[in-house]
Amino acid sequence: MHKETIAVHGGYNNKEGWGTMSVPIAQTTAYAFRDAEHAANLFALKELGSIYTRLTNPTTDVLEQRLAQLEGGAGAICVSSGQAAIFYAISNVAEAGDNILISDKLYGGAVTLLTHTIKRFGITAKVFKSADASNLEEQIDDKTKAIFFESLSNPQIAIADVEKIVEIGKRNGVLTICDNTVASPALFNPIKWGVDVVVHSTSKFINGQGTAVGGAIIERDGLADFFKENSKRYYHFVEPDASYHGLVYTDVPLPNFCLRIRLALLRDIGACQSPNTSWLLLQTIETLEIRMEKHSKNSLEVAKFLEAHPKVKSVNYPGLESSPYYDKAQKYFEGGKASGLISFEAESYEEAKKVIDSTKLFSVVVNIGDSKSLIVQPASTTHSQLSPEELEKAGVNPTTVRLSIGLENPADLIEDLNQALN
C-alpha cells in the first residue's frame, strides 16, 4: 500500500470492533478481564490483550500500527516524548559498562541525554562523523551496543551517510538507531535502507500543528534473529529475564525490540503516551504526506530567495543545489524533497537578532514542524549554554538564524523576510 493510504487507514478496520469512522479515544486507565484465568493468561502472554494503559491502549495501538506500516517496520511503540523514545531505545540495549556511538550532528536534547545523563547510568557515548562515517568503525568494541544518528539533523540540517553507517553496523553486528523526526516517514524510511530501529519525536512534523508532545520507536522485521546471531552483545534478549518470570524475548513471536521496551522499560519507567495525544496524532498523521510536500516546496522557494539576498551570507538547505547535502537529499528523500528546516547566516549577531525581531509572520519559537512558520537564533536560545568551541562543534554560529517553514503561501513568507532583512 502507498503511504498516503496507510496514513489514512493504517491500523484501523471500521468494519470490526468499534465500527466508528473516527478512531475513538479509549480514555481509560485499565481494562476489565473476563475472569481470573483471562487475567492470568494476559500476564503470562498466553493471550494478548490490554491490562493497563501504561502498557497498552487501543487508541495508541492504532497509532503504533500506522507508524510501523508508514516506516515499513514490523512493530512500533509510542511513548510520551521524543526524548523518552531515545532514552528507551538506548537503555533497551545498553547498560552500565557499555558504550554507544553517536553522531556529531544531533538535536541538543539528544546530546545532553546521551553524553551527560546516560553517563550517570554508566553508559559512555563516543562521537562519530555522520557525514561520511569515516571514524565510526574504528571506535566499535565488544561493549558497543548501538550506533545512534539523525537522518536529517536538527538544527544543523545535515544528512547522514545512512548507507555507510548501516553497512558498518551490519558488518560488526551493532544495532543502528536512526532519529527520523525531521525527514518524517513521508520523505524517508530508514528501515528500507537497512536501519534496525527508528525513533521519532511525534511532537514535530507528525503532529504538524504544535499541539502535543509525543514519541515513537519502530523496529524492522527480523530483529529476533539479529539478537540471536549477536547473542553475546545482546544477551539480555536471548537469556531469561528475571524481572519477567524468566521470559526469553527471542522466544516470543512478536517484534522483540518493542516487546522488551513495553514489558520491561515502559512497565518500570512509565513514560507512556496519553490516549488523547494518540488520538490527536491519528488526526494529524492523515495529512502528513501533503504537508511534507508543501513544507518542502515552500522551503525551497524561501531558501532560493535567501540565497539571492545581498544581506544573507550563506544558506543551508539540502534542497538547494549549492548545499553539500544536495546529492544525499536526491539519493535518500522522496523526490529530493528536503523538509521544512532552513538556516542562514546573517551579517552579524545584531543583524540576526534584528531579523528575528522584525518578522511579522514568523513566531519566535524553538519548536519545528508547525503549520505556522517559526524563527529562532540558536546561539542566544537553544545553544546559549554552549561555549564558543562547543558552538562551533555543533555547527552553530552567533550569526545563524534557523527557520521552520510552515504551510503559509511562500510569497507572504518571502515578503516578510525581505522587509525584516532590509
Q: Which residues bind ligand PLP (CB under 6 A)?
A: 81-83, 107, 109-110, 150, 154, 179, 181-182, 201, 203-204, 213, 215, 368
Kind and range of the H or E element at 110?
A: helix 108-111
Question: In whole angstroms, what is the distance from residue 164 CA to residue 153 CA?
Answer: 17
Least Å distance, CB 211 to ligand PLP, is: 12
Residue written as cell 493510504?
5
Contacts (Cβ under 8 Å, ≥6 apart) of 158: 105, 130, 131, 152, 325, 395
Task: Give min distance, CB of 115 to ligand PLP, in A.
Answer: 14
- CB-wise, 101 or 224, nearer to ligand PLP? 101
Phi, psi of 258 (to 5 degrees): -70, -35
Identity of the residue, 107 or 188, whose beta carbon is nearer to ligand PLP in the bound complex: 107
CA nearest to 45, candidates 234, 259, 258: 259
Strands 400-404 and 144-150: unpaired
Q: Is residue 182 within 8 Å of residue 205, measured between CB atoms?
A: yes
What's the closest the beta carbon of residue 203 comes to ligand PLP, in angstroms? Answer: 4
Q: Give every CB contact of residue 127 below 8 A, 6+ residues apart in sequence.
A: 101, 102, 103, 104
Residue of this chain nearest to ligand PLP (CB atom): 82
Closest distance of CB 179 from ligand PLP, Å: 5
Joined grid coordinates for residue 286: 492523515
320 or 368: CB nearest ligand PLP: 368
The answer to whether the CB of 240 falls within 8 A of the CB of 247 is: yes
Tell me the three cell numbers of residue 213: 508532545
Nearer to ligand PLP, 84 or 263 (CB): 84
> Shortest approach of ligand PLP to residue 313 CB, angstroms?
25
Cβ closer to ligand PLP: 79 or 238?
79
Which lies closer to ligand PLP via its Cβ, residue 256 or residue 382? 382
Closest distance to ligand PLP from the beta carbon of 217 (Å)? 12
Closer residue to ligand PLP in complex, CB, 69/203: 203
Q: How far is residue 211's CA from residue 104's CA, in Å, rounded to a whole number? A: 30
Instruction: Report the distance separating Cα 153 and Cα 107, nearest Å.
Output: 7
213 or 401: CB nearest ligand PLP = 213
Q: What is the rounded CA–CA span in Å between residue 122 and residue 118?
A: 7
On the 0-12 / 13-18 / 19+ scale of CB atoms within 10 A, 247 is middle
Shortest reach from residue 128's CB to ligand PLP, in Å: 17
| Shortest separation between residue 110's beta carbon and ligand PLP, angstroms | 6
Judged by DSSP in three states, 341 sits in: strand
